[in-house]
């Protein structure tokens, strides 16, 4: 179109606004400014998206003095006398959205996803976002949007007032048409920030104080949130230029902070996961999983079936026990109805998803499945029988997976004629919610089967981590040592409630003893037996199991539970258990000691780290980052501490152990 210049963000794969790319972009903005024939500018993106924002790799180093950043590009757009229209398609995140906010108009397609996810990296929007958004949609809505950090659809962004138009067709086409009308400049920098429609400016301090009160404490993952709120306070109280300066200083503090370094480590570690033997499994040849099978309708089997259904993959669940099937049907319906209540699904969607799970006792119905996961009783002979049967009914190309948490995958593969298509898919309870998936490689598992498992992991929105075929794989192998150390502390006279309180203080959602109670003490005892004995010096666990104190499910384990306290899930310290530990320790000749909180924390973390190091040496885990992902996504390790391996190495901690 005459007079309209298009600047296309094109820096594959995600149009990150790296320092090198910003230099080019600035040149393009300046060229458009100089060219008298250009009357308006449209900014759009190539590669199926607008931009994923700043290049996170650039944050690793000190900024060179002559570096050109997004801030310079945005300042040039702001200075320009020509109107800018952003044409947004696909992801428009972080610095990408901040660039769009500096444009005078924003038009997006139905595919667009807009967000300021900096907080998830322990940062704040540092290219004017904290100053422009409160001027566009009000401080209260801006805070909510930035503190959450999630992306929204174009329709939602329009409702919020972030967009001028959300179009069904092509955003670029519409942006070009708009630019051709020579619309007026609308610099946000010249506007006043406001709190919200119908909220007077005087309510500002209250809104900010409330946001501070709701954010986690600074030392418990809330540092970026508090700084972000401070930046918005600057938007409300200071002239634009001063606010920008304040934002930049706060951003610089965060970029160097330990929580942000840890969260950025987690971000990159996650993207390394599919890279195995020098190949990116997420791009390697794989089977498409269009339908799935599950054997066993217990808790695990139904959870896995729901996970498939949620990903739009129809699934056949085989079980011959009518009672188990009835319970599973109820679990499935209950789960989808709950999502309707929460407003996450419509009645119709819930119905459709529930319909995509078929229960049957007829094994031959597994014939169409591309992947079949067995989730039957944890017994090798039972599982080997299942694999023999599956080998007979499944199509040749199908991948057969076991959901075992401790057994040898090769012993199952060897009873089939397709050991190359057998692997472990270790889901975590509840399987439809927990984001971790350990993919276990047997000694004959083919690369294609692994690639299929990784693709499936992505479809199920899980973090798939490769593990070698060793007892307990990565996560549980480490947790055994961790729980063993917790027991050792209790044997030395530290009350279980104190051990748990220290680990909650570190940032875990629950301590080791509450965790044991949740998974069941009988389960723990059975695993210890399978492993060839427990590391404990006393028999307290066996005594508890013998007394039917099996954990939360029997309302007593290491702790007591009471229906009227936290719906029966809140651990209540039990002096009886402390006495059991004291008596058993006396018999075993273990003297009680004074143990500091730091020692409790460091000994437990060291147990994780030392086992993690050994798993790396043995090749069970590929990279320290893989171990960290397992712990962050599977076991509640605080992400702002980066995972056990990162914590031990970067923070140089654990000196008290």
Contacting positions for ligand 3HC (CB under 6 A): 13-14, 16, 52-57, 70, 91, 93-95, 98, 117-118, 121, 123, 125-127, 129, 271
DSSP 495-537: -HHHHHHHHHHHT-SS-HHHHHHHH-HHHHHHHHHHTTS-S-S
Q: Is the peptide bond before 242 cis (omega within 30 degrees of 0)?
A: no
> Is 438 a residue of the active site?
no
Burial class (CB in 10 A: 0-12, 13-18, 19+), 204: buried
Nearer Cβ to ligand 3HC, position 121 or 304?
121
CA distance 371 to 449: 10
CA distance 646 to 608: 12
Nearer Cβ to ligand 3HC, position 117 or 457?
117
Q: For residue 39, give Cα distances in angstroms to 76, 108, 179, 186.
A: 16, 22, 8, 15
Nearer Cβ to ligand 3HC, position 58 or 522?
58
The β-bridge partners of 4 are: 40
Nearer Cβ to ligand 3HC, position 126 or 643?
126
Query: CB of residue 6 vs ligand 3HC: minimum separation in angstroms?
Result: 22
* Nearest residue to 428 via CA among 571, 271, 609, 630: 630
* Nearest residue to 132 via CA among 59, 74, 72, 54: 74
Phi, psi of 318 (to 5 degrees): -105, 125
649's tokens = 């190495």
Query: CB of residue 405 vs ligand 3HC: minimum separation in angstroms?
Result: 28
Nearer Cβ to ligand 3HC, position 226 or 275?
275
CA distance 473 to 380: 16
- Catalytic-role residue among 98, 438, 485, 491: 98
> Is 118 a residue of the active site?
yes
In three-state secondary structure terms, 362 is coil
CA distance 502 to 506: 6
Name the helix (H) or strand (E) containing 450.
helix 447-459
Nearer Cβ to ligand 3HC, position 280 or 583?
280
Nearer Cβ to ligand 3HC, position 86 or 317?
86
The alpha-helical segments, DSSP class H, found in 35-120 are 70-79, 95-102
Query: CB of residue 118 vs ligand 3HC: minimum separation in angstroms?
Result: 5
CA distance 220 to 454: 32
Q: For residue 637, give Cα distances in angstroms to 18, 263, 276, 343, 645.
A: 31, 12, 24, 29, 11
Query: CB of residue 15 vs ligand 3HC: minimum separation in angstroms?
Result: 9
Query: CB of residue 623 vs ligand 3HC: minimum separation in angstroms?
Result: 13
Nearer Cβ to ligand 3HC, position 54 or 556?
54
Q: Is the peptide bond before 550 cis (omega within 30 degrees of 0)?
A: no
- Catalytic-role residue among 118, 374, 438, 599: 118
Nearer Cβ to ligand 3HC, position 28 or 49?
49
SS3 assignment for 105-138: EEEEECCCEEECHHHHHCCCCCCCHHHHHHHHHC
63's tokens = 């900024």
52's tokens = 């994923």
Q: Which residues are catalytic?
A: 98, 118
């Amino acid at each position: 179109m005459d007079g309209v210049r298009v600047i296309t963000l094109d820096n594959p794969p995600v149009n990150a606004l790296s320092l090198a790319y910003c230099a080019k972009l600035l040149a393009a903005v300046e060229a458009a400014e100089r060219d008298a024939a250009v009357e308006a500018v449209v900014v759009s993106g190539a590669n199926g998206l607008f931009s994923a924002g700043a290049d996170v790799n650039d944050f690793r180093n000190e900024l060179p003095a002559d570096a050109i950043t997004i801030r310079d590009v945005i300042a040039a757009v702001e200075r320009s006398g020509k109107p800018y229209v952003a044409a947004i398609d696909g992801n428009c995140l972080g610095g990408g959205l901040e660039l769009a906010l500096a444009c005078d108009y924003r038009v997006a397609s139905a595919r667009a996803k807009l967000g300021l996810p900096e907080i998830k990296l322990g940062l704040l929007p540092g290219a004017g976002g904290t100053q422009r958004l409160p001027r566009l949609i009000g401080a209260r809505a801006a805070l909510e949007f930035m503190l959450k950090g999630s992306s929204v659809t174009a329709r939602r962004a329009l409702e919020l007032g972030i967009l001028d138009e959300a179009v069904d067709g092509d955003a670029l086409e519409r942006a070009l048409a708009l630019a051709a009308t020579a619309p007026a400049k609308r610099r946000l920098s010249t506007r006043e920030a406001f709190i919200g429609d119908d909220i007077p400016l005087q309510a500002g301090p209250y809104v900010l104080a409330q946001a501070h009160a709701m954010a986690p404490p600074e030392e418990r993952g809330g540092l970026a949130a508090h700084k972000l709120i401070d930046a918005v306070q600057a938007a409300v109280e200071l002239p634009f230029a001063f606010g920008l300066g304040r934002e930049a200083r706060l951003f610089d503090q965060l970029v160097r902070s330990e929580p942000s370094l840890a969260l950025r480590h987690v971000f990159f570690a996650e993207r390394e996961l599919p890279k195995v033997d020098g190949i990116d499994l997420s791009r390697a040849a794989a089977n498409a999983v269009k339908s799935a099978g599950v054997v066993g309708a217990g808790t695990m089997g139904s959870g896995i079936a729901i996970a498939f259904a949620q990903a739009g993959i129809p699934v056949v669940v085989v079980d011959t026990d009518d009672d188990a099937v009835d319970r599973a049907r109820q679990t499935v319906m209950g789960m989808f109805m709950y999502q309707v209540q929460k407003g996450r699904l419509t009645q119709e969607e819930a119905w459709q998803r529930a319909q995509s799970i078929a229960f049957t006792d007829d094994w031959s119905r597994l014939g169409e499945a591309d992947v079949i996961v067995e989730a039957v009783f944890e017994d090798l002979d039972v599982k080997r029988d299942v694999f023999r049967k599956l080998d007979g009914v499944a199509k040749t190309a199908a991948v057969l997976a076991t959901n075992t948490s401790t057994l040898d995958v090769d012993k199952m593969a060897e009873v089939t004629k397709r050991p190359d298509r057998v692997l472990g898919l270790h889901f975590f309870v509840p399987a439809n919610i927990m984001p971790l998936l350990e993919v276990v490689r047997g000694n004959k598992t083919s690369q294609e089967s692994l690639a299929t498992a990784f693709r499936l992991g992505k479809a199920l929105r899980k973090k798939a981590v490769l593990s070698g075929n060793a007892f307990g794989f990565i996560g549980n192998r480490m947790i055994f040592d961790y729980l063993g150390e917790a027991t050792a502390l209790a044997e030395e006279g530290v009350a279980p409630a104190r051990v748990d309180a220290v680990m909650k203080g570190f940032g875990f959602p629950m301590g080791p003893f509450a965790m044991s109670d949740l998974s069941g003490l009988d389960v723990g005892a059975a695993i210890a037996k399978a492993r060839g004995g427990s590391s404990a010096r006393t028999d307290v666990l066996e005594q508890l199991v013998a007394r039917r104190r099996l954990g939360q499910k029997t309302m007593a384990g290491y702790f007591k539970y009471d229906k009227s306290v936290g719906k029966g899930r809140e651990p209540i310290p039990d002096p009886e258990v402390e006495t059991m530990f004291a008596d058993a320790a006396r018999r075993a000749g273990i003297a009680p000691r004074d143990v500091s909180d730091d020692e409790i924390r460091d000994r437990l973390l060291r147990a994780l780290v030392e086992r993690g190091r050994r798993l790396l040496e043995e090749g069970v885990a590929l990279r320290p980052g893989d171990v960290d992902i397992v712990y962050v996504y599977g076991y509640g390790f605080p992400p702002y501490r980066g995972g056990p391996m990162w914590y031990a190495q970067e923070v140089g901690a654990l000196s008290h152990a």
